[in-house]
Amino acid sequence: MAQSMGKQPRRGGRQQFSEPGCEEEVARSGGKPSRQLNSQNSNVGMLPPNSDDEDEDEQQLPKPGDMPPNSDDEDDEDQSPPKVELTRREREQLEAQKEEEPDPEQVAKDMERLALVKKRREEQKQKRIDAEGWDRMAPLSETNHPPGTTYPPPS
């Protein structure tokens, strides 16, 4: 057999890179380190005990949904809603959404172009009616239907 892939010395491992306090855990478990997934200390994330001698009643923190202490429920409909501060990004988005006032010169050009388009379409419509006898682009009606047919069509 070829020995191109020889065994390499073992690296890493729990013994060499153990967490602080792991020695205590090994001693409690009878000499073997535990292989638990949740080997994090159970006190992680806990607040230290309150060492202040103050009453908890004096130090009340507001909870979500609580009303401020000086607000009355009856006066709410008389007051206007508080103004909300917008972030710079929100202000920029609002400004971008607002339509800019068009230039009067550009409006005049657009209106001229629109008038030309309407005139050209009317001419095309009249040519279709003259050539075919009806306007195939318009909806069927009593006055607009193919020649030789009756309106409404029989069901």
Q: Are 133 and 149 in contact (CB under 8 A)?
A: no
Q: Is the pTM of this model over 0.75?
A: no
Domain ranges of the chain: 104-147
Radius of gyration, CA atoms only, the chain: 42
Angle at 144 between CA 152 and CA 139, to 5 degrees: 80
Q: Are 25 and 34 in contact (CB under 8 A)?
A: yes
Q: How many CA atoms, within 13 angstroms, populate the side-chain half-sphere of residue 100?
A: 6
pLDDT of residue 85: 82
CA distance 87 to 114: 41
The amino acid at 115: A
Please state, in angstroms and as integers, the Cα–Cα distance from residue 103 to each residue in 13, 82, 108, 109, 115, following that order.
74, 37, 9, 10, 19
Q: Are 147 and 134 in contact (CB under 8 A)?
A: yes
pLDDT of residue 115: 98
pLDDT of residue 110: 96
pLDDT of residue 108: 95
pLDDT of residue 33: 55
Please state, in angstroms and as integers, the Cα–Cα distance from residue 51 to each residue in 8, 42, 54, following that order.
54, 21, 9
The rounded average pLDDT for each run of 10 residues, N- to C-terminus, in the chain (155 residues) is 62 58 56 60 78 57 71 56 80 83 90 97 95 91 89 81
